[in-house]
Chain A
Amino acid sequence: MSLFGSMNRMVTITINKNQYLAEEGEIFLLTAMRLNIDIPHLCYEKALEPYGACRLCMVDLVTCGKTTMTPACTIKVHNGLEILTDTPQIIKHRNLLFELYLAEAPKSEVIREMAAKYGVKKTRFLKKIVHEDPLLGKCILCGLCVRVCTEIMGTCAINFINRGPYTVINTPFFEQNPDCAGCAACAQVCPTKAIVFEDRDAERVMQSWSGTTVPLATCSSCKKSFAPEKLMHKVLDKLDPAIIEEIKSLCPECRRQHITRKVIRKVPKS
C-alpha cells in the first residue's frame, strides 16, 4: 500500500505535450480538472456512471501517433496516456456544439456564459421557440435529473419522453406523479438550473414535473414545514427505530437542538 493509503499507483501522462503525474484508473476528466486543465462538460457527475452525452468534453486521444476524438469522461488514466485538449479540430467541433446548445436552450444563462467563455457568442442555427416550456427553455437533455432520480434515489418519477429532436423530460402522461418523493435532487444536479419547484405552506410543488405536489412534514416543535414527508420516511427508515421515535416529527434545526441537548446531558461533569 502506498503512502496515500488506498490511492492507486501514480503514472505519467501527457496532456498538450506537458507531462503530469496522475492516479492510475482515475477518470481523465477529473484528472484534468484537478490539474486546472480546462475541459467544458455538462453531463458528468461523480456519483454516476459516465454517460457521454453532452459531447463537450471530447479530447484527442493519441495512440501510436494517431488521434481519436473521445469524451474525456470515458477515458481512464493509464501510464503513457497522451491527450490533446485544444487542437484546432477539437475547438472547431466544440464551438459548433456550443452553437447547437445555444439554439436548443436559448434561455439558459449557464450555457450562454459557458459558450462565451470559449468565444462563442451567437448561434447560426434557428433558436428553439420557447412556449410554455416547463423547463423554461433551459434544458439540454443531459439526463442528469433522470439518472439521479432513478439510480441514486431509486424513485424513477421522471423519464425521457419521445425520442430524437422531440425528446423531453417529464412525468408519465404529463400528470402529477405519486412516485415523486419531492427530494428535488433533480433540481440540485441540473447543470443549467432548468428545474423549478416551490415550497408553499405545507406543500412542495415540482412545477417542472407537471405540478407534482408532495406534502411537507411540519415540525412538532417549531411548527415549520421542513422536508417532503416521503423523503423523510425514506431517510428515517435507515435509522435505529428508537432514534426515529424521538426525532421523526422534528425539523432539522429542532432535531439538532434536541440531539445537542441529549449529548450535553451525557457529558460527565469534570
Chain B
Amino acid sequence: MRIQTSEDLDSIRKRGLQKIQPGRPRIGVGTSSCGIAVGGIALYNRMHKIIQMKNLDISLVKTGCIGFCKEEPIVSVNIPGKALVLLRKVQEDDAERIISLALEGDVPSDLVLCKISDWDHITGNLVYGNGFDTIPEYGEIPFFAHQKKVILRDSGLINPEDIDEYIGIGGYSAAYQALTSMEPDTIIDEVKKSGLRGRGGAGFPAGLKWEITKKAPGEEKYIVCNADEGDPGAYMNRNEMESDPHMLLEGMLIGAFAMGVHEGLIYIRAEYPLAIERLMLALDQARTYGLLGKNIFNTGFDCDIRIATGAGAFVCGESTALAASIEGKTGRPRLRPPRLTEKGVFGKPTDLNNVETWCNVPVIIAKGALWYSSIGAKGNTGTKVFSLVGKVDNIGMVEVPLGTSLHSIIYDIGNGGAQGKEVKAVQTGGPSGGCIPVRLFDTPVDFESLNQVGTMMGSGGLVVMDEDTNMVDIARYFINFASGESCGKCVPCREGLKHMLLILNRIIAGKGTREDLDLLRELADTVQKTSLCGLGQTAPNPVLTTMQYFKEEYDALISSEA
C-alpha cells in the first residue's frame, strides 16, 4: 500500500508497534557486522530452527547493534508486560535455555547485562514494563549511563529490515510533517537554527550548505550521502546504516524536499555488504509505501534515492574525488573552487553530507531546533557517535553530547585501559587526526577544541593507546596508511608521504639520526602546507602531534643507536 495521509501512516504505525510488542515473548539478536562477526547469525539461525521445529509462540527478530561491542553477541528478551532484558556474550549453545526460559517468563541470570523498563525513541516512547527487580537498569550500567542516544535511539531495539518497526516508533512522521505542512525554506531555517554541523569531520554548517545548494542555478541537482567511511578504526556509519537505515533515508527525503532536489545518492563502500543489503531493502520498502518515488504523501513532490558503491579508496572521502568516483572515474581530487554545491556530480549542483549528518535531520524536524540545540555545547550542538576502540576496557560505539570531555568518554564510559593497563593517549580523527596525551584529556570533544590540540573530530574514531603502545610506531602506521591511500596526483602527498614513511622506518629500525628527525619535521610541514587536498594536508598530523607530545619516544630511538 501507499502511505498518503496521516491516517495511512498511523495504521502502519500501529502495525509496527504490534510487531515490537507482539503480546508474546520477543527475542532480538544483534546482527550488525560486529554481532555477526562474533556469532550473531549462527545464534539467530539456531534459535530460528528451535522455534520452527517446536512451533513455539515466540517472535524472533534480527536487531541492529546496541553499541556495546565488548559484550556481543547481545540478545534482547522481552516478556510481555515486563522490562526488556539485554543478555550479553550469548553463545549458540545458550539458544535452547533462553527460549525455554522466555516461555516461562524468565531470563538466564548468568547472561544478564541490564534491563530497559521504558525507552525514549525521541520520535516516540515505548513502555516495556517492570519486573526483574534484581537486574540493574540500563542507566545504571556505566557504559550506558554517560551516553545520550539520539542517533542511536533505535539501534539494537528495532528490526532494521522491517520498515513497519521504524514507523512504529514514530519514523517518517517528521518527513510527513515536513512535506505536508512546512515550507522548504522553513525546513532549511530550522536546520540552520539547530546549529547542526557536518559530521564528516569538517563541521561545516549543514543548513547553510543546503541553502547554497538550493540557490545554485540549475534545475537538475543531486543530494549525496557520504557513506564511504574509510578511517581504519571507525565504523559508526556502518552501524548506523545497518541498525537503522530508514533514519538515513528519512533525513535525505526531508533534505531533498527542502532543497527542491529529486535525486539522491548514497555513496557507500563496497566493503560494507550488509549495510548495502539493508539499505537496498529499506529503499525497496520505502518505494512500496510511496515514501520514495512519485507524488510522495500526495504532495506532488517526487524523489528517489539510489546507491552508488565505492571501491576502496580513502581519498574518495574528499568531495571532488567522491563526485568523480560516482561518475565512474578514478578518485583524484580536483582543484576547488568550484565547490560541489556549484559543480558536483555530473557537473550539477550537489549537496554532500555525511551519513550521521543526514541521520540528525528527522529528530530536528520532529522535536524542533530549540530542543536539538539544547543538546551539546554552544556552537557544537547535538551529539556525536564515536567508535571507542583500541586498548580500552569497554570497546564499543558511544554517543555523547558534543563538548563531553575525552576523560569522561575514556574513563566513565570506557572504564580506562584494558586489563588494568595505564592509558597513555587517544587518537582521534583517524589518519587525519592526531594523538592526544592523557594530560590533555580535559579537552572537550568539539570541532574547535580538538583542532587546538593539533587533531580533529574526523568522522569519529577514538583509538585508545596504553603504556605498551609505541607512539612512533603509531605515527608510522598512519603515514603508511595515508601513503597507500594517496591518489598520487600531487607531489607532496605522493612522494612526501613516501619519504616520511622511509624516514620513520629508519628511525624505528634504530638507524635514524638527528638529521632524520629534522628532515621529518621539515617534510611534514611542507606536505601539510602544499598538498592539493585534505588527505595530504592532514596526513602529517599523527607525526606532528606525536613529535610534539611524545618527543622522548623519538629521542629514545635515536639515542639508542648513537
Direct contact between A and B judged by beta carbons closer than 8 A: yes
A164-B494 contact given A141-B488, A143-B489, CB 8 Å threshold: yes
Q: Which residues of A contact B499 (CB under 8 A)?
A: 100, 103, 125-126
Pair B526/A165 contact, Cβ less than 8 Å: no
Pair A162/B526 contact, Cβ less than 8 Å: no
Residue of A nearest to B482 (CB): A164
Pair B491/A163 contact, Cβ less than 8 Å: no
A164-B519 contact given A104-B491, A141-B494, CB 8 Å threshold: no
Pair A96/B489 contact, Cβ less than 8 Å: no
Pair A164/B486 contact, Cβ less than 8 Å: yes
Decide yes or no whether B83 CB sits under 8 A from chain A. no
Pick from A48-56, A182-190, A208-216 the stretch touching chain B.
A48-56
Q: Which residues of B contact A141 (CB under 8 A)?
A: 488-489, 491, 494
Residue of A nearest to B484 (CB): A164
Pair A160/B330 contact, Cβ less than 8 Å: yes
Q: Which residues of B contact A97 (CB under 8 A)?
A: 491-492, 526, 530
Pair A165/B483 contact, Cβ less than 8 Å: yes
A71 and B489 CA atoms in complex are apart in Å by: 14
Decide yes or no whether A136 CB sits under 8 A from chain B. no
A-B contact count (CB 8 A): 90
A93-B526 contact given A124-B519, A163-B486, CB 8 Å threshold: yes
A92 and B523 CA atoms in complex are apart in Å by: 10
Contact of B335 among A74, A101, A143 (CB under 8 A): A74
Pair B488/A165 contact, Cβ less than 8 Å: yes
User: 8 Å CB contacts to A: which residues of B282-318?
Assistant: 313, 315
B486, B525, B530 — most chain A CB neighbours (10 Å):
B530
Pair A54/B335 contact, Cβ less than 8 Å: no
Contact of A100 among B486, B496, B502 (CB under 8 A): B496
A125, A143, A160, A164 — most chain B CB neighbours (10 Å):
A164
A167-B523 contact given A93-B529, A100-B495, A126-B502, CB 8 Å threshold: no
Q: Which residues of A contact B330 (CB under 8 A)?
A: 160, 163
Contact of B488 among A92, A93, A163 (CB under 8 A): A163
Contact of A96 among B335, B488, B526 (CB under 8 A): B526
Contact of B486 among A71, A125, A165 (CB under 8 A): A165
Q: Which residues of A contact B332 (CB under 8 A)?
A: 160
Q: Which residues of A contact B335 (CB under 8 A)?
A: 50-52, 71, 74
Known: A50-B335, A74-B335, A165-B495; 6 extra A-B contacts, CB below 8 A, are A89-B529, A96-B523, A100-B495, A126-B499, A163-B487, A165-B498
Q: Which residues of A contact B525 (CB under 8 A)?
A: 93
Q: Which residues of B contact A89 (CB under 8 A)?
A: 529
A74 and B490 CA atoms in complex are apart in Å by: 14
Contact of B491 among A101, A124, A162, A166 (CB under 8 A): A101
Contact string against A for B residues 477-517, beta-carbon threshold 8 Å, 1 for contact and 0 otherwise: 00000011111111111111111001000000000000100
Pair B486/A53 contact, Cβ less than 8 Å: no
Decide yes or no whether B467 CB sits under 8 A from chain A. no
Instruction: Give the shortest distance, in Å, between B478 (CB) and chain A (any CB).
Output: 14
A51 and B491 CA atoms in complex are apart in Å by: 13
Q: Which residues of B contact A55 (CB under 8 A)?
A: 490-492, 530-532
Decide yes or no whether A140 CB sits under 8 A from chain B. yes
A227 and B502 CA atoms in complex are apart in Å by: 46
Contact string against B for A residues 100-115, beta-carbon threshold 8 Å, 1 for contact and 0 otherwise: 1101100000000000
Contact of A52 among B494, B515, B532 (CB under 8 A): B532
A55 and B489 CA atoms in complex are apart in Å by: 10
Contact string against B for A residues 147-176, beta-carbon threshold 8 Å, 1 for contact and 0 otherwise: 000000000000010111111000000000
Instruction: Give the shortest distance, in Å, between A60 (CB) and chain B (any CB).
Output: 11
Q: Which residues of A contact B491 (CB under 8 A)?
A: 53-55, 97, 100-101, 104, 140-141
User: 8 Å CB contacts to B: which residues of A49-77?
Assistant: 50-55, 58, 69, 71, 74
Q: Which residues of B contact A (CB under 8 A)?
A: 313, 315, 330, 332, 335, 483-499, 502, 515, 519, 522-523, 525-526, 529-532
Pair B492/A103 contact, Cβ less than 8 Å: no
A101 and B490 CA atoms in complex are apart in Å by: 11
A50 and B489 CA atoms in complex are apart in Å by: 13
Q: Which residues of B contact A92 (CB under 8 A)?
A: 526
Q: Which residues of B contact A54 (CB under 8 A)?
A: 490-491
Pair A53/B484 contact, Cβ less than 8 Å: no
Q: Which residues of B contact A101 (CB under 8 A)?
A: 491, 495
B490, B493, B497, B515 — most chain A CB neighbours (10 Å):
B490
Pair B522/A166 contact, Cβ less than 8 Å: no
A120 and B525 CA atoms in complex are apart in Å by: 18
Pair A163/B522 contact, Cβ less than 8 Å: no
Residue of A nearest to B492 (CB): A55
Pair A165/B497 contact, Cβ less than 8 Å: yes
A53 and B485 CA atoms in complex are apart in Å by: 17
A53 and B486 CA atoms in complex are apart in Å by: 13
Q: Which residues of B contact A58 (CB under 8 A)?
A: 530
A166-B488 contact given A103-B495, A126-B499, A160-B330, CB 8 Å threshold: yes
Instruction: Give the shortest distance, in Å, between A198 (CB) and chain B (any CB).
Output: 29
Q: Which residues of B contact A69 (CB under 8 A)?
A: 529-530
Pair A93/B483 contact, Cβ less than 8 Å: no
Q: Which residues of B contact A126 (CB under 8 A)?
A: 499, 502
Instruction: Give the shortest distance, in Å, between A42 (CB) and chain B (any CB).
Output: 9
Instruction: Give the shortest distance, in Å, between A193 (CB) and chain B (any CB).
Output: 18
A162 and B332 CA atoms in complex are apart in Å by: 12
A104-B495 contact given A55-B532, A164-B483, CB 8 Å threshold: yes
Q: Which residues of A contact B530 (CB under 8 A)?
A: 55, 58, 69, 93, 97
A184 and B521 CA atoms in complex are apart in Å by: 42
Q: Which residues of B contact A166 (CB under 8 A)?
A: 488
A164 and B490 CA atoms in complex are apart in Å by: 9
B315, B495, B498 — most chain A CB neighbours (10 Å):
B495
Residue of B nearest to A142 (CB): B491
A24 and B363 CA atoms in complex are apart in Å by: 48
User: Could you pull out 18 A-B pairs where Cβ atoms are within 8 angstroms?
Assistant: A50-B335, A52-B490, A53-B489, A55-B492, A69-B530, A71-B335, A74-B335, A93-B526, A100-B491, A103-B495, A124-B519, A125-B502, A160-B330, A163-B485, A163-B486, A163-B487, A165-B488, A165-B497
Q: Which residues of B contact A164 (CB under 8 A)?
A: 483-488, 493-494, 497-498
